[in-house]
């Protein structure tokens, strides 16, 4: 993905570099390249390039030659701590087709360090896959909230079969592009992709990239809106989007789980789906405005039983109460996945 010369000159000039191909040598920087600290200064205007130099140098060396180099940096530095007003979309050369054991082909972004690279390495959230295998059956409806690059969407598509239905809800346009490419690659006609965020009601939210393909809802104040580090996405309540029975509901939305569930009360009360949900006692209050105890109390009021999904065994731990689970929570920054089984489930 080499830049055309005119575009390269313009970008180099913006980044404060010099194009040696135009006849002006720059010490230590190859012709047509951008010094890595110059690139960092433009990508992360609120950070000292020295703070990020070691990480970026390990990826691209002393200089950036093309858009791929810039994408490598942007995709592997956590934007919650180092926000950037710049984004670069993936192109055909960035897509890797990866076959998983379930007979599904996933279209992944080679520069996504959050999900795609762990998937390629075979070590991404293996503890959640058996839950899908156990509870997703032919003919069922599965809703994947926070579908990311589509691993569980495509897995559910195979498990529920042609008579089933999968609704993938994902606010990141880049992730939706990957999901749609996977849908096409697998001819997964039972998948519906909704490029939006879920909330308590219809409206809008402010979405910011975090790390790689991971993103989350952030503050909606004037400062955040003016920063250029986020994008506005439409929001809907799940109750207003999905009709008919829902058998399995997965929720992984970086602390917005409480907002999703608040807009899904009719669905939960009527259909009582099996629920797999991420829980972070730090992100949930910050993004949803409620504690872990309040979040789980809502499920317990509906008769759900709570189990921790054990990352070591790959199986749910024995059911427990919310108070016992949270009493054993070791670290406020700890992030776990829970299995919530409805009465009789």
Query: What pLDDT was estimated at residue 32?
Result: 75
Beta strands in the chain (DSSP E): 34-35, 63-64, 95-100, 104-109, 141-145, 165-169, 191-194, 197-198, 203-211, 214-218, 231-236, 248-251, 274-280, 305-308, 335-341
Query: What pLDDT was estimated at residue 23?
Result: 36
For residue range 100-110, what is the model confidence (pLDDT) as tens digits?
988 899 999 99
Q: Do 151 and 115 contact (CB within 8 A), yes or no?
A: yes
Q: Which residues have a Cβ under 8 Å from the Cβ of 319 and sit 6 or more positions away?
A: 305, 306, 307, 341
- Residue 31 has a CB neighbour count (10 Å cut-off) of 13
Query: What pLDDT was estimated at residue 101?
Result: 83
Looking at the structure, give the CATH architecture of the domain made up of residues 94-341: 3-Layer(aba) Sandwich (3.40)
Query: What pLDDT was estimated at residue 312?
Result: 84
CA separation for the pair 102, 194 (Å, rounded): 24
Query: What pLDDT was estimated at residue 341?
Result: 98
Confidence of residue 11 (pLDDT cuts 50, 70, 90): low
For residue range 60-70, what is the model confidence (pLDDT) as tens digits?
999 999 889 99
For residue range 109-122, what is the model confidence (pLDDT) as tens digits?
999 999 999 999 98
CA separation for the pair 193, 150 (Å, rounded): 10
Q: Residue 151 pLDDT more than 90?
A: yes
* In the chain, where the domains are located: 5-76, 94-341
Q: Do 259 and 200 contact (CB within 8 A), yes or no?
A: yes
The mean per-residue pLDDT over the stretch 32-58 comes to 92
Confidence of residue 237 (pLDDT cuts 50, 70, 90): very high
Query: What pLDDT was estimated at residue 22?
Result: 38
Alpha-carbon torsion (23, 26, 28, 32), positive or negative: negative
Query: What pLDDT was estimated at residue 26?
Result: 46
SS3 142: strand
Backbone angles phi, psi at 315, to 5 degrees: -130, 155
Higher confidence at residue 30 or residue 323? Answer: 323
CA separation for the pair 218, 237 (Å, rounded): 18
| Residue-averaged pLDDT of the chain | 91
Span between the terminal Cα atoms of the chain, in Å: 51
Backbone angles phi, psi at 263, to 5 degrees: -95, 15
């Amino acid at each position: 993905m080499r830049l055309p010369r005119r575009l390269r000159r313009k970008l180099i000039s913006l980044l404060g570099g010099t194009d040696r191909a135009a006849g002006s040598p720059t010490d230590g920087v190859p012709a047509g390249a951008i010094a890595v600290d110059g690139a960092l200064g433009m990508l992360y205007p609120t950070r000292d390039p020295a703070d990020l130099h070691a990480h970026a140098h390990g990826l691209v060396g002393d200089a950036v030659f093309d858009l791929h180099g810039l994408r490598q940096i942007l995709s592997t530095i956590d934007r919650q701590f180092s926000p950037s007003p710049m984004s670069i979309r993936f192109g055909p050369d960035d897509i890797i087709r990866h076959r998983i054991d379930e007979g599904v082909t996933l279209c992944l972004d080679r520069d996504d360090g959050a999900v795609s690279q762990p998937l390629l390495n075979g070590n991404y959230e293996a503890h959640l896959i058996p839950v899908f295998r156990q509870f997703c059956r032919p003919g069922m409806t599965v809703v994947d909230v926070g579908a990311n690059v589509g691993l569980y969407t495509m897995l559910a598509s195979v498990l529920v079969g042609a008579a089933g239905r999968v609704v993938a809800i994902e606010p990141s346009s880049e992730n939706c592009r990957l999901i749609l490419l996977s849908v096409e690659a697998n001819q997964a006609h039972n998948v519906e992709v909704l490029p939006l965020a879920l909330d308590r009601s219809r409206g809008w939210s402010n979405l910011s990239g975090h790390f790689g393909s991971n993103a989350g809802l952030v503050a909606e104040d004037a400062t955040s809106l003016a920063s250029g580090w986020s994008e506005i996405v439409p929001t809907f309540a799940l109750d207003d989007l999905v009709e008919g029975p829902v058998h399995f509901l997965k929720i992984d939305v970086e602390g917005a789980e409480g907002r999703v569930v608040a807009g899904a009360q009719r669905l939960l009360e009527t259909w009582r789906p099996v629920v797999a949900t991420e829980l972070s006692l730090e992100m949930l209050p910050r993004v949803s405005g409620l504690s872990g105890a309040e979040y789980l109390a809502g499920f317990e009021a509906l008769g759900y039983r709570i189990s921790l999904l054990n990352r070591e065994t790959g199986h749910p731990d024995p059911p427990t109460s919310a108070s016992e689970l949270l009493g054993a929570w070791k670290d406020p920054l700890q992030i776990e996945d829970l299995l919530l089984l409805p009465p009789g489930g």
